[in-house]
A = this chain, B = another copy of it.
Amino acid sequence: MALEPNQVDAILEHVDAHIDDSLERLFGLLRIPSISTDPAYAGECRKTAQWLVDELGTQGVDASIGETDGHPMVTGHARKPDGLNAVFYGHYDVQPVDPIELWNTDPFDPVLNDGKIFARGAVDDKGQVMTFLEACRAFLAVTGSLPIGLSFLIEGEEESASKNFAPFVRANADAYRADLALVCDTGMWDPKTPAIVTGLRGLVAEEMTITCATRDLHSGGYGSAACNPNQVLAELIAGLRNNEGGVTIEGFYDDVVETPDDIREMWKGLDFDEKRFLGDVGLTTPAGEKDRTVFEQVNARPTCEINGISGGYTGEGFKTVIPAKASAKISFRLVADQDPEKIRAAFHAHIRKNLPPDCKVTFADHGAASAVAVPFDGPYMEHAKQALTEEWGREPVLHGGGGSIPAVESIKKYLGLDALMIGFGREDDAVHSPNEKYDLESFHKGIRSWVRLLAKLA
């Protein structure tokens, strides 16, 4: 089905005329607290999946719940055997909401305030998923059918490392044969400039727990003499970084591919303002590798971050305890060609080597993914550049993303598909933070961007 330009205009007009309805549907989705990492919300995750199955059903998609060992997958097919077929990927799960006291509004009672949609998941990823579904809905309303063949894989565990996505895709690969993947879980270059993400970092998520004495001790009786796991944990964490901001784990950088000179040249042309990037969150001084720019650090270098620490008494007041254990949640972002399992093993070895006498360590695996790269050329990429340029009046910036979407690796690995990663988030969206938001403009023009791209692909 090739579309006439005036048909595209009609669809865009339909989007504009019905944006309030689109917003209302998004709010319905945002109201379900689908926090995947906390088992207490398993029922809510399933409810969210069913909501999406029902939603896809109204668009002529043969949608259903796909069971996994974890939260269910939303699956759906409206394929065109003789035409172009794409797999759309997104996720319906969201991050936890703590520290809840810093939210100005209830994270699961979405509000539109000053042109911004505030809610957990507003941008990551419910709002973004809905830009695509609303574009499909507009096509259906105006032309009576979807523009290309589509399959859907909307998972419920992206925020908890996508453990069950790879097995699901591997087991169901035949049903998802297609020409390309479309992913809406990334951001704009800046509020006026769209972006296409051409690479994602990998991820290793680990938890380590240090135990020393067989029980909590009174610091008056055992202080100094007994090793304190809080102290040991702190020393182990401090030892993960050297004075130059680099990671000290042996072999950590062995397989890191240095950024090619031509890419570095392209970066120089970007108006990435390091001062503004840090200044927006109250910082002035880059904290990482001293010999790398901030842009390189967050796009093309591996990292080691301590996402959580806890040990001993952390309530109100004070308790002079030497606890029996302390633990940390640690994640590594990886770049090509770092192997997640090799990095995990190197981390374990590093900690075991530096563990003081009498201390024991246990590790918990919170998931892993390799980095992925998408080629810069090809017809679909060209369509995407054109569509975004038409909608935003500026050419999109093509760049590597700092984050990790493990599913994109699985889609490449098991379906053989490169992903067009297009999203409309902004840097100030407070992803994973209190007061997460999505600009109404991102949502509205996001829908319009997908309409334009789908029309070109059709």
Contact = CB atoms under 8 A, between A and B. Distances in A.
B298 A224 contact: yes
Given A161-B318, A221-B298, A222-B281, A305 B203 contact: no
A286 B227 CA distance: 7
Contacts of A281: 213-215, 217, 222, 226
A193 interface: no
A285 B318 contact: no
A199 B325 CA distance: 30
A224 B403 contact: no
Contact of A219 (B312, B314, B333): B333
Interface stretch (A36-44, A145-153, A407-415, A416-424): A36-44
Contacts of A315: 37-38, 96, 98
B312 A308 contact: yes
A358 B289 CA distance: 16
A80 interface: no
Among the interface residues A216, A245, A311, A357, which one has the most CB atoms of the partner chain B within 10 A? A216
Interface string A283-304: 1111111000010011001010
Given A317-B366, A318-B366, A319-B308, A224 B433 contact: no
Name the residue among A219, A315, A430 with the largest chain B CB count within 10 angstroms.
A219
A329 B319 CA distance: 8
Interface residues of A, number: 100
A329 B358 contact: no
A201 to B, nearest CB: 7
A164 interface: no
Nearest to A229: B306
B309 A309 contact: yes
Contact of A96 (B220, B311, B313): B313
A85 B308 CA distance: 55
Given A201-B220, A308-B230, A326-B309, A38 B289 contact: no
B306 A231 contact: yes
Contacts of A317: 36-39, 96, 160, 366
Contacts of A366: 317-318
Interface string A264-294: 0000000000000110011111111100001
A113 B329 CA distance: 39
A348 interface: no
A284 B357 contact: yes
A307 interface: yes
Nearest to A221: B402
Nearest to A288: B224
A322 B298 CA distance: 13
A207 interface: yes
A228 interface: yes
Contact of A310 (B307, B310, B319): B310
A307 B313 contact: yes
B220 A287 contact: no
Given A221-B403, A227-B285, A234-B238, 13 more contacts: A39-B316, A98-B315, A160-B317, A201-B220, A213-B283, A216-B430, A220-B404, A223-B297, A224-B245, A230-B328, A233-B234, A307-B318, A313-B329
* Cβ-closest 4 pairs across A and B: A37-B317, A220-B403, A224-B288, A214-B282
